[in-house]
Amino acid sequence: MYQFPECVRKAYENSPLSYVYYQVLDGKAVPVLVSNGFCKNTGIGREKAAEWLAAGMFERMHPDDVGIVSEISTGFMNHTAPYDVYFRCRIGERYQYFHAFGNWQTMEDGTELVVIVYCNITETKERMLSEKDLYNWLSKDRFYTDPLTELPNINYLHEFANERVQVLRAENKTPSVIFSDVYSMQSYNNQYGMKAGDVLLCLVADALKEQFPGDLLIRGANDHFILVTGVEDRNELAAGIERANERIKKEAEGTTSGIRSGICPVNGRMDVRDALDHARHALKRINDDMTRTWAFFSQEADDLYWKNRYIIENFDKAIENHWIKVYYQGISRIESQKISAFEALARWVDPSRGTISPAEFIPVLQRYHQLYKLDLYMLEEVCREIPIRKQNHLPLVPVSINFSRQDSDHIDIAESLNELYNRYDLSRYVSKDYFIVEITEQDVAQSTERFNEQLLSIRKNGYRLWLDDFGSGYSSLNILGQYQFDLIKFDLELLRHLDDYNGANRIILRGLISIAKKLGIHTLIEGLEDEEQLTFLREIGCEMAQGFYFYRPEPLDEILFRIGGGQPMRNCETREERSVYEAKWFS
């Protein structure tokens, strides 16, 4: 970078004229000398002024003027046009008017510098405003300005927002990006009209500007607003959004829930685009929660977002490639401790992500209404394996498959059972009551008329119907009178906390099993872990328990049994050995 001789530098810096010397390095104008006159004109000290100019004046320039100044600057840098321009620049809390003109100057050592003189003409702005034809820079540059709110638009954001971030960082601040959208804007327009909607958008702009004065507020696409702010305190950021939201709801022509916002600090080397994406993801965490107005980005939430996105984007591929495996969990009789049924459980074994837990992928599928695909796939996998199990002399005990209330919106459960039963010609191996449909108590409690009809159809077609998770928080004895269930499966928390709350669960289980017996409904309890629990279940007359595991890796005929206590049984190598095993462990 060019260095003025010391005596020359002092003389130039002490000049009352307002000018700046620049050197063009790597295509960018870098300030090398700032005069006292420029510092006085702008009210900024020499060191801060140099930092500001190095970051780029466009960041503080009025958005309407950026286009023409950028064009003139490019022509001047290419030596194709003079530098003579009028513009508005934000000094402190308001815009001031400047006239700038410049020339190239060759120094004694041959270095080419640019000297630009800046005249603050704010006091004569009234005269200038009346001479629009002379000063065409006052015409709106719509490429960088939103015509409705008069805010900078998304083009301005992409071009100059990072300059604002650099300026804030030069002031030792950590900027934040806030991404806001107007809740249910389409509904508001439909109810009150497009004109009222435009008024609401202008109100949002005013409310945010009021709470974050001097910060860069952008009108994004549709009903989105983007704020680049130097406010660092999280509580202050949240409070500003809350206050803006209260004003919006109070002053809007119609009823609105206001705005919701995602917030992300622009840390480290992160740029505005990355921070904006993170702020969008933070906003998505709010979803339809009407009690929340804002959410901060967190890496954990972002990781979860991408994990969920991977699940939903690769689910169809997982089914097509059989990455989802059927694992069988044994259901045993209390008295004999022999396995009398299996529950088919889904495990996603992904080639790149490893095993994905049902606790991760099932809620995602449910949220995107894709659960019916999983339930149909599990049903078909069980059907497909029945002939194979028979050929490999493996036990054929009844299998339960989980279905949900949501499934009834997409399929007829009984018809799906019938179709697969016939397609695989399963009448040669098992009767229809081999299949057990498990429905959670929560689904039954929230059932629709269509779902109720399907529950009745399941038993009419010869399949068994079990009520799952009874006692998990939705319990209503009315359910037992409204539907015909073959079995009630009590939630594992009842057994797990058997002696909590002064033994209340013991009394509850004893009473519920007694009621089920009188109604002719079989009973099963999940979570059996020890002999003491087993003794209690025998005492109260519970028929079955779920706590033993039957696990099979691929290929199908390589079987590993894990029976209570985690003790493995080696593979059965002969039919006689298998027969002994089956006699010991299966009903």
Tell me the domain boundaries of the chain.
6-138, 154-297, 322-546+577-585
pLDDT value for 563: 32
Q: What is the per-residue burial (b if ≥16 Cβ within 10 Å, else e) of 521-543? A: bbbbbbbbeeeebbebbeebebb
| Residue recorded with tokens 């005929």 | 557
Query: Model confidence at 131, in pLDDT bands (50, 70, 90)?
Result: low
Q: Where are the alpha helices (DSSP H) in 171-292?
A: 185-192, 194-211, 234-251, 272-286
Mean pLDDT confidence for 125-140: 52
3-state SS class at 471: coil
Say how far residue 228 (Cα) sits from the centre of its chain.
21
pLDDT value for 565: 31
For residue 273, how many other CB atoms are within 10 A of its CB? 13
Task: Give the closest residue to 581 by CA, choosing from 335, 338, 334, 332.
Answer: 338
Residues 547, 529: contact at Cβ < 8 Å? yes
> What is the average pLDDT value for the chain, to the nearest integer?
85
- 188's enclosing H/E stretch is helix 185-192
CATH superfamily ID and name for 154-297: Reverse transcriptase/Diguanylate cyclase domain (3.30.70.270)
Residues 571, 559: contact at Cβ < 8 Å? yes
pLDDT value for 458: 95
Q: What is the dihedral of CA 43, 48, 50, 54, to 10 degrees?
A: -110
For residue 399, how many other CB atoms are within 10 A of its CB? 22
Of 38-47, 70-79, 328-337, 427-436, which has the strongest mean pLDDT?
427-436
The span from the first CA to the last CA of the chain, in angstroms, equals 89
The radius of gyration computed from the CA coordinates of the chain, to the nearest angstrom, equals 36
Query: Model confidence at 349, in pLDDT bands (50, 70, 90)?
Result: very high
pLDDT value for 473: 61
**Separation CA 351–CA 354 (nearest Å):** 6
Alpha-carbon dihedral sign for residues 124, 127, 131, 137: positive
pLDDT at position 564 over 50: no
Query: Six-digit token pair at 482?
Result: 């409204």
Q: State pTM to two decimals.
A: 0.58
Q: Strands, E, within 266-419: which ranges?
A: 294-296, 324-333, 339-350, 354-356, 399-402
Mean pLDDT confidence for 9-18: 93
Of 284-298, 343-357, 570-584, which has the strongest mean pLDDT?
343-357
**Separation CA 434–CA 508 (nearest Å):** 31
Class of domain 6-138: alpha beta
C-alpha to C-alpha distances, 304 to 284, 361, 362, 365, nearest whole angstrom: 12, 11, 14, 14
Common-topology check for domains 154-297 and 322-546+577-585:
no
What is the side-by-side strand order in the sheet with 112-120? 28-34, 19-25, 112-120, 94-106, 83-91
Q: At what angle do helices 299-320 and 371-391 cross, to 10 degrees?
A: 50
> Any idea how long the chain is?
587
pLDDT value for 567: 37
Query: Model confidence at 124, in pLDDT bands (50, 70, 90)?
Result: confident
Query: Model confidence at 95, in pLDDT bands (50, 70, 90)?
Result: confident
pLDDT value for 472: 66
**Separation CA 16–CA 332 (nearest Å):** 95
Mean pLDDT confidence for 117-136: 66
The amino acid that residue 461 corresponds to is N
Residues 151, 218: contact at Cβ < 8 Å? yes
Residues 212, 148: contact at Cβ < 8 Å? no
pLDDT at position 410 over 90: yes
Query: Six-digit token pair at 268?
Result: 């480290």
DSSP code, position 400 = E
pLDDT at position 13 over 90: yes
Phi, psi (rounded to 5 degrees) for 395: -65, 135
Query: Model confidence at 140, in pLDDT bands (50, 70, 90)?
Result: low
Q: Is the peptide bond prior to 555 cis by the omega test (within 30 degrees of 0)?
A: yes
CATH code for residues 322-546+577-585 = 3.20.20.450
**Segment 157-174, tens digit of pLDDT:** 998 899 899 999 988 999
Mean pLDDT confidence for 340-364: 92
pLDDT value for 230: 93
**Separation CA 518–CA 392 (nearest Å):** 41
